[in-house]
């Protein structure tokens, strides 16, 4: 049977060189999550089910189990699995983003093009490793064609604002996020077949930085960095979170092509960009009068609430690696 | 082939959910097996499908959408969908004769114990603004005091599929279900219709 054969082949989608490290990483993440779940249960047992902070914490941890499982399954699908996963992630993120913008009837064709032309095309180019095309599709072609499509709606009310919002949505939700799977295409000497681990490195550092900023902020946070933009960002959270996530990144150097010092530098760049992303996306939410981007992920809010920092760090990480490490 | 009709229904619901990421907000009531008439603002052909999709399966098949006979009777596929899949109640929008009561099929469905999905504006507006409610809602409320009249506000559906467009843009839609509106003793028709419309308008989604 073809199907059973291809099912048996699935583990082979993860190249031999990356298999052992991936397995070790997932065992490690599983242990951390198990510990977090135990703490969550303990807190719930001590403080009661009615405590909303603990309920939210438990919901967040449960969602983490699901997200880790989804990423794990995508990794089993290798290159294609990761491209498909992030294509879907872009779709959900763009859906949340456009929902909160003020588009009008006249934008209908432009929006259809966003979802059904530019998004799939971008990921096809990423999947084909066609760097020249995926790096300009949205900044050049979409940028020029989308306002033209909006003209076909014969509506000039707030035209520039509408065109800007749509382009911004595409840049953040599709262009920026597509730089995560684009990491797979980088040719790094001595690191052949291990690029999947670069994706894992980026996601681990960004997400643990978010979690660590939250933990440090909850424990020691007093002074707020930008109370009007994001009430949850504190100086202690920022310093402690960035420092500990940079340390974690350095400790993960063995899965990357970097030395420990280089890994720390990369992690620092990733976490700083991630912090900037969280702040910018927060500003948009405040302006729109909402607390979360959506309701997709229990305890976290929407897809974009989980990904705001990835949006900003992925393209910068991609270009840093591409400039300094590719052949 | 009842299972085939149910299967077709499930597929359409799945498709609508993927496209809109619809989310139900039960603000003023819970999804219960109580005989109800859900009335909502009307902006796209997807409206009743999404409202239908938000109900738990146990009560979904007791709840029938009210739809225009002119549109849904126009082709074989539409007739199949509205009669077999959605079990819709068709109404004539243009009154054929003076003695004709367009509400008769709705009353018959309510008498049979079914719940209804009803759009009291009658037709879809172009700009997404809600129009005045037509009198039918008042007559139904007067003749069926035992039925709960639940206001429903549907956000964003006019952006998903504006009138005149066939391809939907995938946006997140929020459906808010409010507290049932009951006709007060002595309440006049315009007062009740205005109050019912206000009940739909007043519900801003909880974020």
Q: Would the pLDDT of B63 be above 60?
A: yes
Among candidates A111, A291, A294 on the partner chain, residue whose Cβ is nearest the Cβ of B172: A294
- Alpha-carbon span A324 to A128, nearest angstrom: 23
Find, in chain A, the residue whose alpha carbon is nearest to that of B206.
Answer: A290
> A272: which DSSP letter?
H
Q: Which residue of B has its CA nearest to A107?
A: B159
Cβ atoms of A15 and A196 within 8 Å: the answer is yes
Residue of A304, A275, A276, A274 lying closest to A288 (CA atoms)? A304
Of A99, A289, A295, the CB nearest to B171: A99
Confidence of residue B35 (pLDDT cuts 50, 70, 90): very high
Residue B161 C-alpha from the chain's centroid = 16
Tell me what the mean pLDDT of segment B27-41 comes to.
93
At A3, the pLDDT band (50, 70, 90 cuts) reads low
Per-residue pLDDT tens over the stretch A278-326: 999 999 999 988 888 988 887 788 999 999 999 999 999 999 999 999 9
Q: Which residue from B33, B70, B25 is spatially nearest to B50, judged by alpha carbons?
A: B25
Whether B159 contacts chain A with CB within 8 A: yes
Report the pLDDT averaged over residues A58-69: 91
Instruction: Give the burial string for A200-209 (b: 16+ CB within 10 Å, else e).
Output: bbbbbbbbbb
With contact defined as beta carbons under 8 Å apart, do B42 and B68 qualify? no
A230-246: pLDDT as tens digits: 888 999 999 999 999 99
- Count of C-beta atoms within a 10 Å radius of residue B33: 10
CB B192 within 8 A of CB B141: yes
Q: What is the pLDDT of residue B109?
A: 95
Cα B109 from chain centroid (whole Å)? 14
- Residue bearing the bigger pLDDT, A254 or B159: A254
Size of interface A-B (CB pairs under 8 A): 34
What SS3 string covers chain B? CHHHHHHHHHHHHHHHHHHHCCEEEECCCCCCCCCEEEEECCCCCCHHHHHHHHCCHHHHCCEEEEEEHHHHCCCHHHHHHHHHHCCCEEECCCCCCCCCCCCHHHHHHHHCCCEEEECCCCCCCCCCCCCCCCCHHHHHHHHCCCCEEEEEEEECHHHHCCCCCCCCCCCCCEEEECCCCCCCCCCCHHHHHHHHHHHHHCCCCCC
Cα gap B112→A179, rounded to integer Å: 58
Q: In what order do the strands lie in the sheet with B115-118?
A: B23-26, B174-177, B148-155, B36-40, B115-118, B63-68, B89-91
Of A27, A136, A18, A30, which is closest to residue A79 (Cα–Cα)? A18
Spatial neighbors of A225 by CB under 8 A, at least 6 apart, are A233, A234, A235, A238
Q: Which of residues A118 and B121 earns the better pLDDT score?
A: A118
E runs forming strands in A13-70: none
**All domains of chain B, ordered by start, with CATH?**
2-201 (3.40.1130.10)
Q: Rounded to whole angstroms, how far apart are CA atoms B6 and A210?
A: 44
Residues of A engaging B, defined by a Cβ cutoff of 8 Å: 91-92, 95-96, 98-99, 103, 105, 108, 111-112, 115-116, 289-292, 294-296
Q: Give the model confidence (pLDDT) of B177-205 as tens digits.
A: 999 999 998 999 999 999 999 999 998 66
- Bridge partners of B115, per DSSP, are B63
If you average pLDDT over residues B15-26, what whole number do you get? Answer: 86
| A39-43, A105-109, A192-196, B45-49: least confidently modelled range | B45-49
pLDDT in tens, A256-283: 999 999 999 999 999 999 999 999 999 9
Q: Which residue of B171, B174, B176, B204 is the best one to mutate when testing the A interface, meaning the one whose CB has the most A CBs within 10 A? A: B171
Which pLDDT score, from 0 to 100, does residue A1 have?
A: 46
> A92-104 burial, b if ≥16 CB within 10 A, otherwise e?
bbbbbbbbbbebb
């Amino acid at each position: 049977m073809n199907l059973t054969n291809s099912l048996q082949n699935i583990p082979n989608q993860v190249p031999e060189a990356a298999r052992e490290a991936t397995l070790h990483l997932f065992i490690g993440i599983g242990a951390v999550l198990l510990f977090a779940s135990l703490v969550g249960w303990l807190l719930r047992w001590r403080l009661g089910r009615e405590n909303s902070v603990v309920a939210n914490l438990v919901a967040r941890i449960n969602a983490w189990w699901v997200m880790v499982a989804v990423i794990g399954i995508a990794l089993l699908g290798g290159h294609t699995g990761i491209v498909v996963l992030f294509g879907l992630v872009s779709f959900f993120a763009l859906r949340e983003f456009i929902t909160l913008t003020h588009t009008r009837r006249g934008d209908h064709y432009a929006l259809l093009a966003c979802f059904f032309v530019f998004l799939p095309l971008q990921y096809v180019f990423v999947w084909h490793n066609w760097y020249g095309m995926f790096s300009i599709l949205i900044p050049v072609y979409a940028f020029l064609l989308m306002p033209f499509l909006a003209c076909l709606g014969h509506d000039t009310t707030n035209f520039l604002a509408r065109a800007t919002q749509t382009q911004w949505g595409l840049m953040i939700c599709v262009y920026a996020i597509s730089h995560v799977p684009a990491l797979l295409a980088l040719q790094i000497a001595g690191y052949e077949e291990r690029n999947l681990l670069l994706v894992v490195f980026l996601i681990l550092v960004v997400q643990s930085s978010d979690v660590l900023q939250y933990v440090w902020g909850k424990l020691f946070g007093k002074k707020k960095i930008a109370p009007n933009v994001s009430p949850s960002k504190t100086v202690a959270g920022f310093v402690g979170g960035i420092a500990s996530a940079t340390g974690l990144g350095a400790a993960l150097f063995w899965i990357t092509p970097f030395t420990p010092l280089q890994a720390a530098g990369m992690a620092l760049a990733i976490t700083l960009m991630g912090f900037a992303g969280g702040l910018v996306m927060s500003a948009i939410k405040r302006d729109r009068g909402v607390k979360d981007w959506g309701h997709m992920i229990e305890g976290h809010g929407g897809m974009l609430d989980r990904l705001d920092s990835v949006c900003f760090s992925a393209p910068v990480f991609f270009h840093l690696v591409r400039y300094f490490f590719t052949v | 082939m009842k299972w085939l009709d149910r299967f077709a229904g499930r597929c359409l619901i799945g498709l609508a959910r993927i496209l809109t990421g619809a989310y139900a907000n039960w603000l003023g009531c819970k999804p219960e097996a109580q005989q109800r008439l859900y009335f909502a603002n009307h902006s796209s052909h997807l409206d009743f499908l999404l409202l239908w999709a938000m109900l738990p399966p146990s009560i979904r098949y007791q709840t029938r959408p009210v739809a225009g006979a002119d549109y849904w009777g126009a082709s074989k596929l539409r007739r199949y969908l509205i009669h077999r899949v959605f079990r819709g109640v068709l109404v004539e929008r243009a009154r054929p004769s003076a003695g004709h009561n367009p509400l008769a099929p709705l009353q018959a469905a309510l008498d049979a114990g079914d719940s209804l999905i009803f759009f009291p504006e009658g037709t879809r507006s172009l700009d997404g603004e809600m129009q005045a409610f037509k009198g039918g809602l008042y007559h139904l409320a007067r003749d069926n005091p035992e039925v709960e009249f639940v206001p429903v506000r549907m956000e964003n559906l006019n952006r998903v599929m504006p009138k005149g467009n066939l391809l939907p843009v995938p946006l997140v839609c929020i459906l808010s279900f409010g507290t049932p509106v009951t006709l007060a003793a002595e309440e006049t028709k315009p007062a009740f219709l205005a109050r019912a419309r206000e009940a739909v308008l007043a519900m801003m989604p909880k974020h």
